[in-house]
Amino acid sequence: MSCFSQETSTTIVGKIVSLNNDVENVHIINLRTKHGTISNKFGEFELNVLKNDTLLISSIQYKKLKISIDKTHIQSKKIEIQLIAMVNNLNEVFLHGLSGNLNSDLNKTPIDTLPKHNFVYKLSDLNKVLPPDTHGFLKAPNAQDVTDPIMMNGAGGSASIPDYYMIKLRKLKAQLKTKKDFPSKIKMDLGIDFFTKELHIPEEKINHFLSYCEYRNIIEYYTKNNLLEVIKIVQEESKTYNEIKK
């Protein structure tokens, strides 16, 4: 008679906090099973795990974190996770020539030499309706529409025209950078083994496979920190991709 045994998973109850505050809408994913959940408004969640499983904790406002499940977590069936907020540090600024006395330093404030604008408006201007955009996007504007006081309903003054070409160019560059960085980031988050062993995608074909999945907006889901949807998409698309290869 042959006997087989299989380790049974344990459901642990977790709580996610940051600076003693509960954190909701955080994605918690078991990288072994690729199953996940989201913390509620009290920072609480439940997830099935085995010893040595790795949890990926991800939220757009906090630094990503990976935690290994150990014997203590399995026995207590509880885990508390501390997240660190994402902080953009500014360069240090040094001020010279100050005495430390507020009144004295205010009196030494240099005179503003910048020319004053000549744009004048009245409260009644807030109710004015601007003329429709007759020149279209990225086309040369009608100069009369933006300079003629009559066309501006008597408001007078001058107007600046947005550089639509540069706005569109900057947006395009940002999109290209996001698309370029996506393969390396998703492989780092999910691990090469996930693609090669679970999805059966050869390592040298992973980038090609991710490009194949782009039509399902996989990059947009990733930038919005929706890893659960990303995993669902690659699991579904890998079946078709592997069939095509055959």
Mean pLDDT for the chain? 80
User: Topology of 10-82 in CATH?
Assistant: Immunoglobulin-like (2.60.40)
Q: Write the pLDDT tens digit of every residue in 67-93.
A: 999 999 999 999 999 999 887 666 666
Q: Are 16 and 43 in contact (CB under 8 A)?
A: yes
* Long-range contacts, stretch 8-11, CB < 8 angstroms, 24+ apart: 9/48, 9/49, 9/50, 10/48, 10/49, 10/50, 10/74, 10/77, 11/46, 11/47, 11/48, 11/49, 11/77
Q: Please say if the pLDDT value at position 49 is more than 90.
A: yes
| Pairwise CA distance, residues 141 & 195, whole Å | 51
> Domain ranges in the chain?
10-82, 165-245
Q: Are 68 and 53 in contact (CB under 8 A)?
A: yes
Q: Please say if the pLDDT value at position 48 is more than 60.
A: yes
The model scores a pTM over 0.75: no
**Residue 145 token pair:** 């529409």
Q: Write the pLDDT tens digit of every residue in 119-173.
A: 566 667 667 776 665 555 555 556 555 555 555 554 444 445 566 778 888 888 8
| Pairwise CA distance, residues 17 & 24, whole Å | 9
Find the length of the chain: 246
**Residue 237 token pair:** 């698309």
